[in-house]
Amino acid sequence: MSGFSEYDMYLFGNGRHYEIYKKLGAHYDERDGASGVRFSVWAPHAHRVWVIGEFTDWQAQDEYAMQRLEPLGIYELFVPGRVNGEMYKYLIETQDGRRIYKADPYASYAELRPGTSSKIFDSSSYKWKDTKWMNKRKKIDSSKDIPMAIYEVHPASWKRHFTTDEGIEGMYTYRELAQSLCEYIKEMGYTHVELMGISEYPFDGSWGYQVTGYYAPTSRYGTPEDFKYFVDTMHKNNIGVILDWVPAHFPKDEAGLREFDGEPLYEYPDPRMGEHPDWGTKIFNYGKNEVCNFLIGSALNWIEEFHVDGLRVDAVASMLYLDYGKKDGGWIANKYGGNENLEAVEFFRHLNTLVLGRNPGTFMIAEESTAWPKITGEAADGGLNFSYKWNMGWMHDFLDYMKLDPIMRKGSHNKMTFGMSYNESEDYILVLSHDEVVHLKCSMLNKMPGFKTDKFRNLKAGYAFMLGHPGKKLLFMGQEFGQEREWAEERELDWYLLDDPEHADLRLFVKGLLGIYKKYPCLYTNERKWDAFEWINANDADRSIFSFVRKSPTGKKNLLFVVNFTPVERNDYRVGVPKKGKYKLIYTQDMQLNELLIESKDYTFEAELSECDGRDYSIAYPLTGYGVAVFHYN
Alpha carbons 477 and 474: distance in angstroms, whole number: 10
CB within 8 Å of 169: residues ≥ 6 apart:
none
Angle at 544 (CA atoms; ends 538, 546), nearest 5 degrees: 35
CB burial of residue 599 (10 Å; 0-12, 13-18, 19+): exposed
Cβ count within 10 A of residue 205 = 9
The per-residue pLDDT for 83 is 82
Does residue 383 have a pLDDT over 90? yes
The per-residue pLDDT for 612 is 96
In 106-191, alpha helices (H): 131-138, 155-158, 174-188
Alpha carbons 151 and 431: distance in angstroms, whole number: 10
Compute φ and ψ for 575, nearest 5 degrees. Answer: -130, 140
The per-residue pLDDT for 399 is 98
Decide if 148 contacts 524 (C-beta within 8 A): yes
246-274 pLDDT, tens digit per residue, is 999 999 999 999 999 999 999 999 999 99
Mean pLDDT of 363-391: 96
Element (H, E) at 462: helix 452-468
The per-residue pLDDT for 84 is 87
The per-residue pLDDT for 167 is 47
Closest-CA residue to 152 (of 357, 436, 356, 392): 436
DSSP bridge partners of 119 = 87
Comparing 238 with 83, the larger pLDDT belongs to: 238
Comparing 599 with 309, the larger pLDDT belongs to: 309
The per-residue pLDDT for 2 is 67
Virtual torsion, Cα 499, 503, 509, 513, nearest 10 deg? -110
The per-residue pLDDT for 601 is 65
The per-residue pLDDT for 602 is 73
569-587 pLDDT, tens digit per residue, is 999 999 999 999 999 999 9
Closest-CA residue to 482 (of 447, 528, 517): 447
DSSP bridge partners of 102 = 90
| For the chain, percent of residues with pLDDT exceeding 70 | 97
Helix, strand and coil in the chain, % to nearest 5: 30, 25, 45
| For the chain, percent of residues with pLDDT exceeding 90 | 89
In 553-627, alpha helices (H): 591-597
DSSP bridge partners of 152 = 194, 476
List, by residue number, the catalytic residues.
Answer: 314, 367
Number of H-type helices and E-type strands within the chain: 15, 28
Closest-CA residue to 569 (of 630, 631, 627): 627
Hey, what domains does the chain have and what are their CATH numbers? Answer: 6-119 (2.60.40.10), 530-633 (2.60.40.1180)
Mean pLDDT of 311-318: 97
Alpha carbons 374 and 426: distance in angstroms, whole number: 7
Decide if 319 contacts 349 (C-beta within 8 A): no
